[in-house]
Structures are given as structure tokens and as C-alpha cells.
Amino acid sequence: MKELAERIIAEGIDLGGGILKVDSFLNHQVDPILLFHCGKALAGYFYQHAPTKILTAEISGIAPALMAGLELGIPVVYARKHKPITMANGVFLATAPSHTKGGEITLMVSGDFLKPNDRVLVIDDFLASGETIVALARLVKAARATLIGFGAVIEKAFEGGREKLKPWGVPVFALSRILSMDSGKITVEES
């Protein structure tokens, strides 16, 4: 996606240690037009797999997932990191290490919103090590729903996350792939 690749190159900042800061359009301040286009592209790729729900992780995955859900006309469920009082019974839990948070995160989804008859598309802002996306896939499996694919706005190809997703046997699609981040230079491949 050319528009996204241009924004990554123009505004992305390599913070070292594999951390890419894209706060100006994706992770803190959100560019709704760019994310609308990202959602359309993700929805277009996965439309043929007939998803009935999208699952993402709060908070940064919500914007692209919501835009894809809008395009597909399906609900978006986001895994919570903290259990609210309203989430009483039938909760699915998964944990994952978080590179940016510097520790383990817990993801939880109410059983009210993931059912065995659902066909679930997992979407997140980044595909890096793959740990968060795999945790989301484990939530889908725990709900006995059908996983139909993984989508990401940005893939950091050099972190090997795509390899961790292969055993799930579903399509993996990223709108832009970061091939390297060396000495502050970000090399991007468009999808």
C-alpha cells in the first residue's frame, strides 16, 4: 500500500531495539483517512474467506480492525488487557510477551462475543514477533470458532512473526512490510 509505505518512511522513527514509532498516524494520533484505506485493503484481501467477526487487541489494533469491519459489515471484538467489572463469566484468556510494554500482557474476551459458529479474522496494527497475534488466535481456538486469517497494517519482517503464524494454516497479509531498520534507515516493501 503505497500511501502507508510513504507515511512510514516520512514519519516513522527507528527507536532502536526493533521498535518503530508511528505515533503520528497509527498508535497515538490516528489518521482516519489513512486507516480507512488500510481497512478497505484488509477487508478486500480477506473478503473471499467470509469472516463473520474481527478480533483484535486493545488499543492500537482497534482502529484498523474497526475500519475493516466497517467495510465488511461485521462486528469487531477487541481483547481487553484489564478485566472490567462487566465481564463476569465465560472469559477466554491468553498471554503474550510484549516488546513495547516490556513484559507479559494478558488478553481476554468474553464468551458472549466469540462463539463456535464464528469465522474470525485477526487484525492488529503490527506483526512483529507474532506473539500477540498468536495469543489472539489462541482465544479464537478456545472459543471453538474458526480462524480464517491474520491481517496487519505493518509487518516487521525481520522479527520472524510470519513464521510463527504458519502452523495455523491460514492466510497472512500485511499492508506494508519493514524489511530492515538499520542506523535510522527504514526499508519498506509495499504489499
* pLDDT tens-digit readout, 21-44: 999 999 999 999 999 999 999 999
- 8 Å CB contact between 40 and 71: yes
Q: What is the DSSP string of 142-189?
A: HTTPEEEEEEEEEEEGGG-HHHHHGGG-S-EEEEEEEEEEETTEEEEE
Question: C-alpha 70: how far from its chain's center?
Answer: 16
Task: Determine if the pTM surpasses 0.85.
Answer: yes
Domain count, the chain: 1
**Which cell is 66 given?**
474497526
67-105: pLDDT as tens digits: 999 999 999 999 998 877 777 778 999 999 876 667 899
pLDDT for res 80: 93
CATH number for the domain that contains residue 179: 3.40.50.2020
**Full domain range(s) for residue 142:** 2-190
Contacts 24+ apart (CB under 8 A), 23-30: 26/60, 26/63, 26/64, 26/125, 26/153, 26/154, 27/60, 27/125, 30/63
